[in-house]
Amino acid sequence: MRKFLLIPSLLAAAAFAQDPSDPPEDSPYEQMQILARAMQLIRQDYVDESKVSYKDLTYEAMRGMLATLDPHSQFMDPKDFKSMQEDTKSEFGGLGIVVSQKNGMLTVISPMEDSPGFEAGILPGDRILKINGQTAEKLTLQQAVDKLRGAVGEKVSLTISRPATKEIKDYELTRAIIKVPSVKDAQILSAGGGARIGYVRITQFNEPTAAELSKTLDKLEKQGMDALILDLRYNPGGLLNSAVDVAGEFLPSNTMVAFTRGRTPAREYRTQPRGSHERKYPLAVLVNYASASGSEIVAGALKDLGRALLVGETTFGKGSVQSVISLPDGSAVRLTTAKYFTPGKNLIHEHGVSPHIRTSLTYDEETDLLRSRRKQENIGKEAKLYMDPQLARAMDVLQGTLTFAKRQN
């Protein structure tokens, strides 16, 4: 039997180097060697040679890395990155269903109006169990989105679970070009006492949203609008800068709308100088459980700064920052880098924004509201706005505010 002896000084050095209380060194060079060796073995020995190009292996490794971090971080190949850029320009192909991971389930945040998903009757909160017969349980968010999108005109089958009624239903939808006008239903609502209350609904925040809203408000003001209801229900978000600019329509310039905290230095988002006059009339904002991301930033800012009364339900609670970083080959990484806070230092992520006046809709009331919006799109812009309980409550609040102000004067 061989015996190995260590002189005391070397023994002490070895014990010091292997002290279990010391954290192991996280060396990028060693880990890259391991990854490179694994890729070499796969290319050398894997049975299907067509699947083991360096590009394929690298892309899949990056997808796996990002998917393990959180549901919102993802790797986008050049095709996916181009599709994401097209989304923000208000026109793209798909089913028009905004989805997210919630409690481990692929959940519909909101179906976009005028889309196949909206017209079929899919509702916010529906859970997608299967896509084209394949279970969605183990799909990442990006994998699910990839399956929902595709060539225009192709059919996609979905199996949906609806928690409100505990029913499971199958849908067959056809992909279409989704055009998303983000500012809709602008009109003056009649109220008691001669008050002229304006109503505007924002479906999501795209590049032209703030400019569209500004023009719409100018028109309503010329019609003698005394107060405004801004409807952000079922708004899944969109571009952050667009949301900040929308909030800026009702706030002084250089006002902080939100700020972030993360590993990178904190960043503040402030309103830009506006050329038109200040909009000082009373404002109520409608929110619900499907108001997410950008709509939560707008609602949270207007609430904390005392500019608006929020009516409805606590919002979705999606307040993390995703930075999109392009890579040399046209692909990109979407990485969660921080979390959003309102001006009052309230965390949005997984908390949401709570309303001043809590008013909920029953399942039947919500179904009637969404059905009326589908009917409205089919009939045209002249269709009468459905007066749901949340909207009626907001009108009551503004009417009372106007009456009080009139008596004070």
Write b or e for each residue in 225-241: b if 16 or more Cβ atoms lie within 10 A of its Cβ, otherwise e.
bbbbbbbbbbbbbbbbe
Residues whose CB is less than 8 angstroms from the CB of residue 35 and which lie 6 or more positions away in sequence, other chains included = 61
Residues whose CB is less than 8 angstroms from the CB of residue 142 and which lie 6 or more positions away in sequence, other chains included = 63, 67, 74, 75, 76, 80
At how many degrees (to 10) do helices 28-45 and 54-67 cross? 130
Provide the β-strand partners of residue 196. Answer: 190
Distance of CA 356 to the CA centre of its chain: 22
Residues taking part in catalysis: 293, 304, 318
Q: How many alpha carbons lie under 13 Å from residue 338 in its C-beta half-sphere?
A: 15
CB atoms within 10 A of CB 143: 16
Contact 319, 240 (CB under 8 A): no
Instruction: Return the sign of the alpha-carbon dihedral for residues 234, 240, 245, 247.
Output: positive
For the chain, the farthest-separated pair of C-alpha atoms sits apart, in whole angstroms, at 104
Residues whose CB is less than 8 angstroms from the CB of residue 223 and which lie 6 or more positions away in sequence, other chains included = 188, 196, 198
How far is Cα 304 from Cα 131, in angstroms, rounded to an integer? Answer: 41
